[in-house]
């Protein structure tokens, strides 16, 4: 139980540093640390495939995309005079939410553990889940990926490509 | 179940992480920081799915959901950052308040 709390503290600390750091590049790096913490949590929850995807995609690819975008966008953070004083009430809302949910929610969690009877098929392999039970989602994934490729192609569309052909 | 999982503890940290991301999305005027807050919120949702999958002993179903979710997240982040870079090339700012000038 100690190791979970340690991993969670790493995650929370990285999230707080990502929010409060002045430079955007530090925020991107702290986001990578947060992803590494989440993947460690997945590994300790006996979910290795999700951990591998998280570590390779979220900690690798998204960090590279973020850092390249931050370096392309010339940052001038002094421009943003953010008035954060009126949001000081936000942690109080968080505390109230946690206290109220700790009163009402554990009953729901006890009911949730009853669902384990109905979905107790964890002996089946992950490949069977992906290809057999959720195989139709592969079509949705391919559609989403191709849509994003077309969108990015049209965002960075250059007129000179077609004008020279004419 | 091989280990004792305390789901209310998970719930506590998940809600803290969600509120950190929501705070980042509400407060900041920089558009890239909005995407960072979105990323933190989606991480909290992923942890919730995996922890509840472990709790109900259906971890493989949760893993197959997480893989799909990671792909959708990457697509959203890549498209959003491409739009931000294009917007910055045209208007030389990434302030969310300046987007109000685009209404027509």
Touching B: A residues 50-89, CB under 8 Å: 50, 53-54, 57-58, 61-62, 65-66, 69-70, 72-75, 77, 79-80, 82, 84, 87
A97 part of contact set with chain B, CB < 8 Å:
yes
Position B81 in a domain: yes
The predicted structure's pLDDT at residue B1: 42
pLDDT score for A163: 58
Contact A150/B at CB under 8 A: no
Nearest CB neighbour to A41, from listed B27, B47, B84: B47
Beta bridge partners of residue B95, listed in sequence order? B30
> Does residue B85 form part of some domain?
yes
User: For the segment A72-130, what is each residue's pLDDT rounded down to a tens digit?
Assistant: 887 665 556 666 666 777 778 888 887 887 777 777 777 766 666 565 565 677 777 77
pTM of the model: 0.85
Closest residue in chain A to residue B91, using alpha carbons only: A73
Within-domain flag for B84: yes
Does B12 reside within a domain? yes
Residue B104 has pLDDT above 80, yes or no: no
Cα distance between residue B10 and residue A157, in whole Å: 45
Question: Which of A1, A80, A126 shows the shortest C-beta gap to B30?
Answer: A80
Average pLDDT value for residue range A36-49: 91
A65 and B29: CB-CB below 8 Å?
no
Please check whether residue B13 is in contact with residue A8, taking contact to mean a CB–CB distance below 8 angstroms.
yes
For A159, the token pair is 């007129």
The conformation of residue A118, written as its DSSP 8-state character, comes to T
Domain with B31, as residue range(s), is 8-99
Determine, yes or no, domain membership for B2: no
A57 φ, ψ (degrees, to nearest 5): -90, -55
A12 pLDDT higher than 90: yes
**Residue B22: CB partners within 8 Å, gap ≥ 6?**
B37, B41
Asked if B55's CB is within 8 angstroms of A116's CB, the reply is yes
**Mean pLDDT, range B22-34, rounded to an integer:** 87
Number of domains, chain B: 1
Write down the pLDDT at residue A63: 93
Predicted confidence at residue A76, as pLDDT, reads 61
CATH number where B26 lies:
1.10.287.3510
Flag whether pLDDT at A39 surpasses 70: yes
Query: Between B57, B71, B88, which is nearest A116 by CB?
Result: B57
Q: What tens digit of pLDDT does each residue of B33-91 get?
A: 999 999 999 999 999 999 888 877 788 888 888 998 999 999 999 999 998 888 888 88
Q: Residue B3 domain-assigned?
A: no
Residue B98 banded pLDDT, cuts 50, 70, 90: confident
Instruction: Please give the Cα distance from B70 to A48 (Å, whole number).
Output: 14
CB B55 within 8 Å of CB A39 = no
């Amino acid at each position: 139980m100690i190791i979970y709390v340690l991993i969670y503290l790493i995650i929370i600390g990285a999230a707080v540093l990502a929010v409060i750091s002045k430079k955007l590049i530090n925020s991107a790096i702290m986001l990578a640390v947060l992803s590494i913490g989440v993947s460690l949590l997945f590994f300790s929850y006996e979910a290795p495939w999700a951990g591998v995807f998280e570590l390779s995609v979220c900690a690798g690819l998204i960090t590279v995309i973020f850092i390249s975008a931050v370096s392309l966008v010339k940052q001038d953070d002094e421009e943003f005079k953010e008035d954060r004083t009126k949001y000081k009430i936000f942690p109080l809302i968080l505390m109230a939410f946690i206290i109220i949910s700790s009163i009402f929610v554990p009953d729901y969690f006890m009911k949730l553990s009853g669902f384990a009877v109905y979905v107790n098929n964890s002996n089946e392999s992950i490949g069977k889940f992906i290809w057999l039970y959720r195989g139709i989602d592969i079509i949705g994934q391919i559609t989403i990926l191709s849509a994003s490729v077309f969108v990015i192609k049209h965002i960075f569309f250059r007129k000179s490509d077609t004008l020279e052909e004419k | 179940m091989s280990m004792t999982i305390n789901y209310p503890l998970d719930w506590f940290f998940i809600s803290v992480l969600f509120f950190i991301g929501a705070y980042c999305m509400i407060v900041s005027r920089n558009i890239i920081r909005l995407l960072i807050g979105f990323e933190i919120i989606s991480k909290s949702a992923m942890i919730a799915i995996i922890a509840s999958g472990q709790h109900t002993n259906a971890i493989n179903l949760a893993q197959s959901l997480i893989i799909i979710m990671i792909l959708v997240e990457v697509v959203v982040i890549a498209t959003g950052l491409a739009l931000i870079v294009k917007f910055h090339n045209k208007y030389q700012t990434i302030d969310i308040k300046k987007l109000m000038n685009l209404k027509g």
